[in-house]
Amino acid sequence: MIEQWQPATATGAIDSSLLLHLASESHQAEELNSALLDTAQLQQLQQWTQQPEQTWQTVLTSLDEQQLLAIARWYVKAEEHYGWQVGANNPAIWIFRYLKQQQRLPAKDEIRAIKAMTSNRYIPYGKVL
């Protein structure tokens, strides 16, 4: 009997303490400092890009606006820096959508600055329906 290949699924819940670490001042530099995270943490952060938006929504409610923006910036920079091909699954999109639903959008200059960091055409709000 031949088994059908199944792609690996993202496992593990999103750890808010690791997200808070991303939101810390040490990660706010223009360039990512790979030394601030170990390999296991980077793998976990990359796996979370495969989590659906609903999973992210439950974690986002516990973070404030500045923390959310810092995490979004980190994921945008990480996609470029590490060559992650996440496209419309970038967690920054889930963050921007959440902020939009809460009517807590950042200033347009902030959004433009984040868009300037990436070649991902789906940033900030994802696919246009």
Q: What is the per-residue pLDDT for 8? A: 47
Please classify residue 96 by burial: count the beta carbons closer than 10 Å to its beta carbon, then call 0-12 exposed, 13-18 middle and 19+ buried: buried
Q: Which structure tokens are listed for 97?
A: 């959508």
Domain boundaries along the sequence of the chain: 39-129
Q: What is the pLDDT of residues 74-126, one digit of tens each?
A: 999 999 999 999 999 999 999 999 999 999 989 999 999 999 999 999 999 99
Residue 73 has pLDDT above 90, yes or no: yes
The Cα–Cα gap between 104 and 62 comes to 14
Q: What is the pLDDT of residues 13-46, one digit of tens each?
A: 899 999 999 888 777 777 787 778 999 999 999 9
Q: Which structure tokens are listed for 33?
A: 């400092």
Residue 6 has pLDDT above 50, yes or no: no
Q: Which residues contact 50 (CB under 8 A, 6 or more apart)?
A: 9, 10, 89
The beta strands (E) that lie in the chain are given as: none
The conformational region for residue 125 under phi > 0 = left, psi -120 to 50 = alpha, else beta, is: alpha
